[in-house]
Amino acid sequence: MKPDALPLIHTFWPLLLIGVGAFASLITSVWGSVRSFRVTGLLAFGIFLGAAYGFATLDPVAHSLAGGILRADGLGYFLSFLICLIGAVTVVFSFNYWENLSEPVQEVLPLILFAALGMVLMVLTTHLLTLVLALELMSLSLYVLVGSRRADPKSSEAAIKYFLLGSVAAAFLLFGISFLYGATGQMDLSLMGQQALSPDKALLFQVGVLLLLIGFAFKVAAVPFHFWAPDVYEGSPAPVTGFMAAGVKVAAFGAWLRLLHVLVSWEFLELRTLLVILSLLTMFVGNLAALRQRSLKRIMAYSSVAHAGYLLLGLATLVEGAVFLEAGMGVILFYLGTYGLLTLGVFAMLTLFSSKGKEISKLDDLKGLGYTNPVFAAALTVFLISLAGIPPTAGFVAKYFLFARAIETGLIWPAILGILTSAVSLYYYLGPVVQMYFHDPVGEKSMPAATLGMKVLVSFLVLGAFYLGLFPGKYLTWSNGIRLEASRSTPILSGMPQTRP
Amino acid sequence: MTPQLGQYFPLLIIMLMALVFSGLFIFLAFAFGPKNPDPNKLDVYECGVPATGDARHRFSVKFFIVAMIFLLFDVEVVFLFPWAILLKSFKSQGMGWEIFWPMAVFLGMLAVGLFYEWKRGALDWEK
Amino acid sequence: MQLSGILLWPLLGAILNGTFALVGAKRKRPVPRLWVNIFGVGLPILALAWSVSAGLPFIFAEPEPLRENLFSWMTVGNFRVDGGLLLDQISVLMILIVTGVGSLIHLYSTGYMKDDPAYAKYFAYLNLFLTSMLILVLGDNLLMMFLGWEGVGLCSYLLIGFWFEDPAKAAAGKKAFVVNRIGDFGFLIGIFWVISLLMPHVGDQASPLNFEFMQQNAGLLAGSATLITAFFFIGAMGKSAQIPLYVWLPDAMAGPTPVSALIHAATMVTAGIYMIARLSFLFDLAPQTLQFVAVIGMVTAFFAATIALVQNDIKKVLAYSTVSQLGYMFLAMGIGSYSTGMFHLMTHAFFKACLFLGAGSVIHAMHHEQDIRHMGGLRRFMPVTAWTFVIATLAISGIPPFAGFFSKDEILWETFHRGHTILGVLGVLTALLTSFYMWRLTFLTFFGKCRASSEAQEHVHESPFSMTSVLILLATLSAVGGFLGVPHILGGHHYLRDWLGLGQHPAQDAHADRLEMMLMALSVGGALLSATTAYLFYLKKPQWPRRLAASFQGIYRLWLNKYYVDEVYDATVVQPVKRSSESFFYGLIDRLLIDGVLINGSGRFLAFMGSLVSRLQGGRVNAYAFYFLLALTGMIVWVVVR
């Protein structure tokens, strides 16, 4: 056995579990029957839960394997944990969405696993090449997932658009990495951080950083790299959109955090200014463009853009001169978790509305739902107002901490502008609510039956939205305890670390 | 010429020779071959597809599948060459297993892929 | 679990009964009453049992206060609030009253509300009220107290407007809610003030709102104590119906009578008293506020008693009587005799609950007739109700050895003894009025000839056992409850006072004994005199009061119309607010400025911006990629040029 093999299994067994599971699910799904879909679904669900458990209990040793190709630390484990939960939720969605079709799209579940594998790998590496590989694994799986409603031209359009633009972004990313390699001679971020940069390479390095950031800005749908989002969100099947919206954001922001952690040491990059500008643009365009939308999915796309803006503001708060304020990460991690929860909540509803392969997301379709399906309408309302940041829900707490952090670190005006755009967002988040409660139902629309798992899941999500809103303390303390170094981190489930911001 | 690039000088010669020889044979064929042109012969040769016409013409997706499968397995097999060459030297240093297992895993993945394609009927021309 | 159980049982009841109500509504067929009874009454009784088991050690020994942390509520930087519970002598007394009287009233309600279609909903609200009240008295910090404070306010609103089909009743609920908000506003300001003063001094784990922490750091609050406590007292004015915020309580009688007994007599309205007792360490630092509390309390007591003299609605009399008795309690608080106030709170809970439930029994029997002019002689039809009512009247009018005598006498004595002569005189006068209006009520309702129509008389019946048993229990408590604080001169001992250990009490000397003896004689004599007058007026010479009313037309009308306070409020506060809302706030600010400029204007502006932004979103991939490139170029130019 290789000397690295043991720590590989010790510190990364959940990652391996997902990988093995992805291949296993490929085999179980091959028969193409409803039964094999069910077996695969159970398998995938179990794998996600197992991996989530693993990431939650593993001790973050801050240990790098094979020159940073894999890195085990608090941040990576926490984000991986989130991704696994998102994956598990997506599996439940998929059950509700595809299982009652006569011929389920078999590839969906393995692809979700592969995409999750990419995401997890993305947050568990400090090596740029692994990063690109992980990103591509995630992206390629997602392209196919987006286009998985083959009968619908919109789905294919979305897939093609996502693919084309994604390739452009990937090209930028690779180009940027080659620049960085050219400037520093390093591929591993942790080594790159220790590198002295010769002044004549500064411009090369800077352009490389820009290209790299653009690559990730595309993934999180930051303006002006967000144009794919509305079309792709609209075209892809609801469970996939939810997975994409929540999972990709977690993974990409994980990568942002790792990059920032290293890049701040070069002050001339002025990352803080760059991030603030990007963040303001993103907040404004995301929130404003959402105002005119008539489709819940497009609203969610712009909402995702807007939230990326808030998160970018959160990233900006981490940069203080040449110092990376590690303690501030907790706020961003909390926001990511909350955003994931709420977005999944909305897409849970969309999944419920659009079973049997028919996508329903027009606002007009929601008319009178408050009277025909009071429970689902209430749940959707909870998620939407929480996304808008209204207490006592999780969204409020997340936004509150984020903006409070921004003000603390001196980003007062961006924070004020952010809060203003957040107020604007109330308009489009309440739009569906108005449709549901202030309009009479049109025609006889029966909601497709929800599976038991879906019902349980939605209850959990609603409870979560309130729980995090009312009692954020414990989880905030967890996320605040997440570090990139081992000495200050403890496993997520082992209780509260004593460090506080 | 810097010494670094000098290492690649033989490569340059190979490329030049390839150019010269292929050019030579094309020229010879062109100069001495019998010429009986007719429209079909003048047409560019392409397998199964008429070479001229609308570019947005539809043709069977099976071609793509075959091409993709070929590409995948072919490219992946390329990995086997350096591995096979290095295997001996690794083995002589007592590290044979360490280089054996990764390739075994890799081939295992390939096998799963093959199994999947097979089972899903990607290899059947007529389904 | 020992503490949280006390409030979790009623909470469970509220959830279960709420579910029953929903299920019943959905199936168009109510859930069987038995189920509601089992959970709606059983769980409060369980809570009583837990309260007793938690309280017993405190009664027989003096253990350390019990603390329990339910959950960590919020942690924002250094600011930390826990959902913590605290059980000490004061809260033991309160939980025993709340769960004890509460359980009895739950039991009573099973009879009173038997035919109500919204039976399960009623019990859900009542259980929820119990939970909130227990949170209020068990919370170990101001925010938990406020949570309970708002919770009981909500339940009060829901229950006053329980029969909301009647617009007057719905309006009464609204009035209670709105008036209480004014008080709550004061309470909140007090809380914020405390936070702002204590925040710089909290350590890593302490909460600035924790009572024990506040007490330890009371010195830090001393500078602003007068204003802080004044704001807290504004909160108490609202919740405990003191001048000028008492107006909601008489209207609150629109709710079902057991609700009036539980919420608007025995428990919720005493929350203000409890709050002052709980924060007595703070009020001790603010003598001006205390003075203010005493004056407000006494004036309210007197003022409400005069109104009660001439009211004809059985519940209205009791409502004003409650306001008046609460005034007594505030008087006790204001003169710094906190434990006496708590003592009166307890005895009042017993006899006022008994009176209200007796009134409820009458109303139940008379098919919702509430006017005492149409009653009389009911003791023949409903002896148990009549005699328990008489016992409670004996208690409230201060006739020994019933409960009210001891607690009221202690208040009066302490008032004089601490040198508040004017307040004391008013107090004695109020006691006379109290005796008069209560006996008037009793005689008019239960004695003399029956003035109801003969048809109505046929239907009058004694209430079922579930109601009368509760009356008997409460009457017993009203009879013996006072023995917890028998004065020394009668050879007794202030058990409750020593046990609570709140505030300072004057020494017992010969002079004090003389004073106390004199006061006792005076008040008992006065009460008997009043009772006799009432007897003459309303049983023997019914023409006298009429003649009296005719010759003192002015003051009679003034009292009958409750000093026109509602009308004055309407003219000075409600109408101006309404008018200015309509013309200025609605017309100008809301319609023109906010709707016109801010809402629609900003909306249009934003929509315009939105349309600009979405114009970029043409759906063409090559355009998108071009924007990418543009952005990249811009960034690189920025980098190079800079």
Secondary structure of C461-512 in the HEC alphabet?
CCCCHHHHHHHHHHHHHHHHHHHHHCCHHHCCCCHHHHHHCCCCCCCCCHHH
Q: Quick check: A100 pLDDT over 70?
A: no
| Confidence at residue A2, expressed as pLDDT on a 0 to 100 scale | 47
What pLDDT digit, counting tens, does each position of C326-342 carry? Answer: 999 999 999 888 888 89
| Average pLDDT of every residue of chain C | 85
Chain C: closest CA distance from residue A135 (Å): 19
| Confidence at residue A355, expressed as pLDDT on a 0 to 100 scale | 54
Lowest mean pLDDT among A158-167, C296-305, C528-537: C528-537
| CB-based contact B112 A1, cutoff 8 Å | no
| Confidence at residue C201, expressed as pLDDT on a 0 to 100 scale | 79
Q: How far apart are CA C272 and CA C152, in angstroms?
A: 12
Q: Quick check: A119 pLDDT over 90?
A: yes
Pair of tokens at residue C593: 């400025």
Lowest mean pLDDT among A208-217, C540-549, C593-602: C593-602
pLDDT tier at A496 (50, 70, 90 boundaries)? Answer: very low
| Confidence at residue A173, expressed as pLDDT on a 0 to 100 scale | 92
Q: Quick check: A102 pLDDT over 60?
A: no
| Average pLDDT of every residue of chain A | 86
Q: How far apart are CA C409 and CA C486, in angstroms?
A: 10
Please tell me if residue C611 touches chain A, with a CB cutoff of 8 Å: yes
| Average pLDDT of every residue of chain B | 81
Please tell me if residue A8 touches chain C, with a CB cutoff of 8 Å: no
| CB-based contact B98 A23, cutoff 8 Å | no
C335 falls within a domain: yes
* Farthest CA pair distance, chain B: 65
Note whether C403 and C524 are same-domain residues.
Answer: yes
Residues C100 and C48 sit within 8 Å (Cβ to Cβ):
yes
Q: Within 10 Å of residue C449's Cβ, how many Cβ atoms?
A: 9
Pair of tokens at residue C109: 């309600």
Mean pLDDT of C455-481: 86
Note whether C469 and C530 are same-domain residues.
Answer: yes
Chain A: closest CA distance from residue B127 (Å): 15
Note whether C339 and C300 are same-domain residues.
Answer: yes
Nearest to B110 by CA among B69, B82, B63: B69
Answering whether pTM is above 0.90, one says no
**Given A161, A292, A477, which is nearest C610 (Cβ)?**
A292
The per-residue DSSP string of C547-591 comes to HHHHHTHHHHHHHHTGGGHHHHHIIIIIHHHHHHIIIIIIIIIII
C309 falls within a domain: yes
Q: Quick check: A419 pLDDT over 50?
A: yes
| Confidence at residue C542, expressed as pLDDT on a 0 to 100 scale | 77
| Confidence at residue A445, expressed as pLDDT on a 0 to 100 scale | 59
Chain B residues with beta carbon closer than 8 angstroms to that of A1:
97-98
Radius of gyration of chain C (CA): 28
- Pick the most confident of A47-56, C86-95, C114-123, C283-292: A47-56
**Given C603, C628, C636, which is nearest A210 (Cβ)?**
C636
Chain C residues with beta carbon closer than 8 angstroms to that of A231:
619
Chain A: closest CA distance from residue B51 (Å): 26
Chain C interface mutation, best of A209, A227, A295, A430, highest count of C Cβ atoms under 10 Å: A227
**Given B97, B98, B116, which is nearest A26 (Cβ)?**
B116
Q: How far apart are CA C231 and CA C229, in angstroms?
A: 5
Please tell me if residue A292 touches chain C, with a CB cutoff of 8 Å: yes
Express as a percent the part of chain C with pLDDT over 70.
Answer: 99
Amino acid, single-letter form, for residue C11:
L
- Tell which C residues from 77 to 106 touch A, by Cβ distance under 8 Å: 77
Nearest 5°: the CA angle C221, C186, C297 is: 90
Q: State which of C499, C532, C560 marks the end of a domain.
A: C560
- Tell which C residues from 150 to 209 touch A, by Cβ distance under 8 Å: 204
| Confidence at residue C133, expressed as pLDDT on a 0 to 100 scale | 93
| Confidence at residue A22, expressed as pLDDT on a 0 to 100 scale | 93
Domain of C618, in residue numbers: 565-641
| CB-based contact A23 B112, cutoff 8 Å | yes
Q: Quick check: C511 pLDDT over 70?
A: yes
| Confidence at residue A49, expressed as pLDDT on a 0 to 100 scale | 95
C574 falls within a domain: yes
The gap from C-alpha A16 to its chain's centroid, in whole angstroms, comes to: 21
Q: Please state the φ and ψ torsions of residue C627, each to the nearest 5 degrees.
A: -60, -40
Q: Within 10 Å of residue B38's Cβ, how many Cβ atoms?
A: 7
Residue of C nearest to A281 (CA): C613
Please tell me if residue A285 touches chain C, with a CB cutoff of 8 Å: yes
Q: Please state the φ and ψ torsions of residue A71, each to the nearest 5 degrees.
A: -135, 130
Q: Quick check: A17 pLDDT over 90?
A: yes
Nearest to A230 by CA among A307, A164, A286, A308: A286
Note whether C467 and C579 are same-domain residues.
Answer: no
Mark out the alpha helices in C311-378 (DSSP H runs): 314-334, 338-365
Q: Quick check: A357 pLDDT over 60?
A: no
C272 falls within a domain: no
b/e map A467-483, b = 16+ CB within 10 Å: bbbbbbbebbbbbbbbb
Note whether C361 and C412 are same-domain residues.
Answer: yes
Say if strands A70-72 and C79-87 run parallel, antiparallel, or are unpaired.
unpaired
Sequence-separated (6 or more) residues with CB below 8 Å from residue C627 = A224, A227, C616
Note whether C494 and C365 are same-domain residues.
Answer: yes
Q: Quick check: A339 pLDDT over 90?
A: yes
| Confidence at residue A499, expressed as pLDDT on a 0 to 100 scale | 39
pLDDT tier at A325 (50, 70, 90 boundaries)? Answer: confident
Pair of tokens at residue A291: 């105002």
| CB-based contact A427 C610, cutoff 8 Å | no
| CB-based contact A23 B97, cutoff 8 Å | no
Express as a percent the part of chain B with pLDDT over 90.
Answer: 13
Q: Quick check: C410 pLDDT over 90?
A: no
Chain A residues with beta carbon closer than 8 angstroms to that of C628:
165, 168-169, 172, 214, 218, 224-225
- Tell which A residues from 339 to 398 touch C, by Cβ distance under 8 Å: none
| Chains linked to A by 3 or more Cβ pairs within 8 Å | B, C
What pLDDT digit, counting tens, does each position of C205-235 carry? Answer: 678 888 888 888 888 888 888 899 999 999 9
- Tell which B residues from 100 to 119 touch A, by Cβ distance under 8 Å: 101, 109, 112-113, 115-116, 119
Chain A residues with beta carbon closer than 8 angstroms to that of C625:
164-165, 168
* Side-chain-side CA neighbours of residue C237 (13 Å): 27
Mark out the alpha helices in A389-500 (DSSP H runs): 394-408, 412-437, 452-470, 473-480
Q: Quick check: B7 pLDDT over 50?
A: yes
| CB-based contact A30 B120, cutoff 8 Å | yes
| Confidence at residue C591, expressed as pLDDT on a 0 to 100 scale | 73
| CB-based contact C628 A206, cutoff 8 Å | no
What pLDDT digit, counting tens, does each position of A384-411 carry? Answer: 999 998 888 999 999 999 999 999 898 8
Q: How far apart are CA C476 and CA C358, in angstroms?
A: 14
Chain B interface mutation, best of A1, A18, A25, A26, highest count of B Cβ atoms under 10 Å: A26
What are the structural domain ranges in chain B? 59-127
Mean pLDDT of C102-121: 88
C52 falls within a domain: no
Note whether C590 and C553 are same-domain residues.
Answer: no
Note whether C489 and C633 are same-domain residues.
Answer: no
Chain A residues with beta carbon closer than 8 angstroms to that of B112:
23, 26-27
Q: How far apart are CA C311 and CA C320, in angstroms?
A: 9
**Given A1, A2, A30, which is nearest B119 (Cβ)?**
A30
C393 falls within a domain: yes
Residue of A nearest to B121 (CA): A30
Mean pLDDT of A406-418: 90
Q: State which of C545, C560, C575 marks the end of a domain.
A: C560
Q: State which of C536, C560, C584 marks the end of a domain.
A: C560
Residue of A nearest to B122 (CA): A30
| CB-based contact C632 A211, cutoff 8 Å | yes
The gap from C-alpha C138 to its chain's centroid, in whole angstroms, comes to: 16
| CB-based contact C624 A161, cutoff 8 Å | yes
pLDDT tier at C466 (50, 70, 90 boundaries)? Answer: confident
Please tell me if residue C32 touches chain A, with a CB cutoff of 8 Å: no
Lowest mean pLDDT among A17-26, B44-53, C402-411, C522-531: B44-53
The gap from C-alpha C346 to its chain's centroid, in whole angstroms, comes to: 13
Note whether C440 and C589 are same-domain residues.
Answer: no
Chain B residues with beta carbon closer than 8 angstroms to that of A32:
120
The gap from C-alpha C312 to its chain's centroid, in whole angstroms, comes to: 23
Note whether C596 and C573 are same-domain residues.
Answer: yes
| Confidence at residue B47, expressed as pLDDT on a 0 to 100 scale | 66
Note whether C399 and C496 are same-domain residues.
Answer: yes
Residue of C nearest to A205 (CA): C639
| Confidence at residue C516, expressed as pLDDT on a 0 to 100 scale | 83
| CB-based contact C603 A228, cutoff 8 Å | no
Q: How far apart are CA C200 and CA A288, in angstroms?
A: 41
Touch criterion met for B and A (3+ Cβ pairs within 8 Å): yes
| Confidence at residue A248, expressed as pLDDT on a 0 to 100 scale | 94
Residues C335 and C415 sit within 8 Å (Cβ to Cβ):
yes
Check residue A471 and report its DSSP letter.
-
- For chain C, how many structural domains are there in total? 2
Chain A residues with beta carbon closer than 8 angstroms to that of C611:
292
Q: How far apart are CA A59 and CA C23, in angstroms?
A: 48
| CB-based contact A32 B97, cutoff 8 Å | no
Express as a percent the part of chain A with pLDDT over 70.
Answer: 92
Touch criterion met for B and C (3+ Cβ pairs within 8 Å): no
C70 falls within a domain: no
Q: How far is CA C594 from CA A141, A421, C582, C597, C598, in A?
A: 49, 18, 14, 6, 5
Note whether C492 and C554 are same-domain residues.
Answer: yes
Q: Quick check: A498 pLDDT over 60?
A: no
| CB-based contact B119 A2, cutoff 8 Å | no
ipTM of the complex: 0.82
| Confidence at residue A448, expressed as pLDDT on a 0 to 100 scale | 65
Mark out the alpha helices in C113-166 (DSSP H runs): 119-138, 142-160
Mean pLDDT of A455-470: 91
Residues C340 and C487 sit within 8 Å (Cβ to Cβ):
no
What pLDDT digit, counting tens, does each position of A206-236 carry? Answer: 889 989 988 899 999 998 888 899 989 988 8
| Confidence at residue C564, expressed as pLDDT on a 0 to 100 scale | 76
C43 falls within a domain: no
Residues A251 and A270 sit within 8 Å (Cβ to Cβ):
no
